[in-house]
Structure formats: structure tokens, C-alpha cells
Amino acid sequence: RPPRSTQGVSSAASDVYKRQTGESATVNFEEHIEVIRHTINYVDGRLPVIAGTGANSTSEALDLTKEAKIIGANYALIVTPYYNKPSQKGLIEHYTKIADSVDIPQILYNVPSRTACDLLPDTAMILSNHKNIVGIKEAVNQTQRFKELVSISQSNETFKVYSGDDPTFLQFLKEGGHGVISVAANVIPKAISSICLAIREENIEDANEINKKYSELYDLLFIESNPIPVKWILYK
């Protein structure tokens, strides 16, 4: 299985497309770190590795992020604390504590459908000013949300915005997003990479054509809770 902490940047579309999906919430600390270590060893410097190090406990997220840096991860992807439902002030304190404590580039991860916690654009803007917070993975499908996040990145070029929603990621890229952290990319990596490259080269027609072929797949990958469908497809 490809857990969330095995993310890597595509060699075909560096800094644009990444594969993501997994069960990090169900493994213990040692298993989580071992997955990251195994990935780093397997990649062997060929690609940057983004380690998923989020947790609903600030101290656990901090420890995971520290350990990921020690064993050689290039970035950390840190999901909002699930279950706790922190306020926006609480989110700022949570992420700032980790960013202050670990000198590794960190990507915020907002997926309220799974965490019951929504990191709002205004909060992301505040956090984007921290030197160690370099981007956000946004899984809320709202055009206005896309535009607000892209506006933040335009005023702060070190802060990148990535889609976390396969069915709408192409529209996100058209709005100015920098890439996608994708479930479908585990199944069709070349196609997702090609879409990102086409957008980067401003070839919208090719991007639309490729994306259209896989619209049904995007839906099927979420017909049950992720990662059940993608694991079944990879098994087959």
C-alpha cells in the first residue's frame, strides 16, 4: 500500500504533481517513521520526498516532523488536527509551533471532509508568512477558495497552492494553482503528470482532453472511503 507519507514529486513534472493516499492515521509512531524511512531509501535522492507528519496532537505532529527531517525527508505535509475542531487561532498556534521547532519546508493540508476542521484562507495567509511554511494542499472544492489561495501565492511567491481534489484539480490549475497531490496519480501517474505539464506549457486543450478521459475514474476512486478503491485497483 502507498501510505500518505510516501509522497514523491514526479520526475516528469517536478514541483507540480505528487502522489498521495494512505492510512497514516492507523499506524503507530514507529511504523509511520519506518514507512517514511523506507520511502527515502527507495527513492535514494532521485526525487524529493514529502512526508505526511500531521496528527491531532501538536506534540505528536511535532515529533513526527522532527523525525522525518532527521531521516532525510525534504518536506513535511501536515494535516489540520482532526477530531479536535480547533479554532482558527488554535490552528495558527499549532502550525506555528511546529514551524518554529523544525527547520524543514512544511505544507499545510486542509481536508475538512475528513478532519471536521477547515483551515480558512485568511489563516493560511497569516501562516504563509512563516519562512518554513511553503504551501498548502487544499481539498475544498470552491472556486472562490481557489482564487483566494492563489491570490496569497501571488503576493508571496514562496508559498505554493496544491489541489487535493482529483475531480476538480484541473480547474484549480487553471485558476493558478501550482499542482496536485493526487489519489488518482497512484493509478495513472503519467496522465496526471501530462495534465500538469500541459497546463504549465499553457496547452489547455490537451489538458482538457486528457482529463476528460479519466473523469469517471476520479469519481470511482471515491465511491467508498479512500483508500479502499485505490488499493483495490492497484491490487487488480
CB burial of residue 185 (10 Å; 0-12, 13-18, 19+): buried
Of 17, 75, 95, 137, which residue is the catalytic one? 137
SS3 label, residue 132:
coil
Average pLDDT over residues 12-40: 77
Q: Whole-angstrom Cα distance, residue 135 to residue 231?
A: 28
Q: What is the pLDDT of residues 150-165, one digit of tens each?
A: 999 999 999 999 999 9
pLDDT value at position 18?
A: 61
Around Cβ 131, how many Cβ atoms within 10 Å?
10
> Hey, what amino acid is at 156?
N
Active-site residue, from 109, 162, 214, 218: 109
pLDDT attached to residue 1: 34
pTM over 0.75, yes/no: yes
DSSP β-ladder status, 133-138 and 49-52: unpaired
Known active-site residue 231: no
Give dist(CA 192, CA 97) in Å, integer.
Answer: 34
* Cα–Cα distance for residue pair 19/166, rounded to 1 Å: 11
Q: Is 137 a catalytic residue?
A: yes
What's the mean per-residue pLDDT of the chain? Answer: 91
pLDDT above 90 coverage of the chain, percent: 87
Higher pLDDT, 197 or 2: 197
- Is the pLDDT at 11 greater than 50? The verdict is no
